């Protein structure tokens, strides 16, 4: 996957997170940390899209999937950390 495709994917995920968070704030009571949970959903969707892409991407697709898994773990740890405070 070339640089422009990777940056477009990252920007798409970020923009989707912003839109989801905006709508989440419009609806009243929800689970704690709706932005963090929305980010997890967006990352999982991006991971699914990458898994559904054709395999030959010079290893970058697989690397992106691995990094998304790390990001999901970090977001979950951030939620746990904040919940303890």
Structural domain boundaries in the chain: 3-25+33-84
Burial of 42 (0-12, 13-18, 19+ CB in 10 A): buried
* Tens of pLDDT, residues 35-62: 999 999 999 999 999 999 999 899 999 9
pLDDT value at position 23?
Answer: 65
Model pTM score? 0.64
pLDDT value at position 27?
Answer: 56
Q: Is the pLDDT of residue 10 over 80?
A: no
CA distance 39 to 16: 9
pLDDT value at position 65?
Answer: 96
Rounded mean pLDDT, 19-25: 64
Q: Shortest CA distance to 6 belongs to which of 57, 75, 72, 70?
A: 57
DSSP state for residue 80 in the 8-state scheme: H
């Amino acid at each position: 996957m070339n640089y422009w495709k990777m940056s477009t994917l990252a920007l798409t995920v970020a923009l989707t997170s912003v839109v989801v968070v905006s709508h989440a704030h419009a609806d009243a009571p929800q689970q704690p940390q709706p932005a963090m949970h929305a980010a997890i959903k967006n990352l999982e969707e991006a991971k699914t899209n990458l898994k559904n892409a054709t395999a030959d991407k010079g290893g970058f697709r697989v690397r992106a999937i691995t990094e998304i898994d790390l990001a999901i773990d970090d977001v979950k740890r951030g939620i746990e950390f904040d919940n303890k405070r």
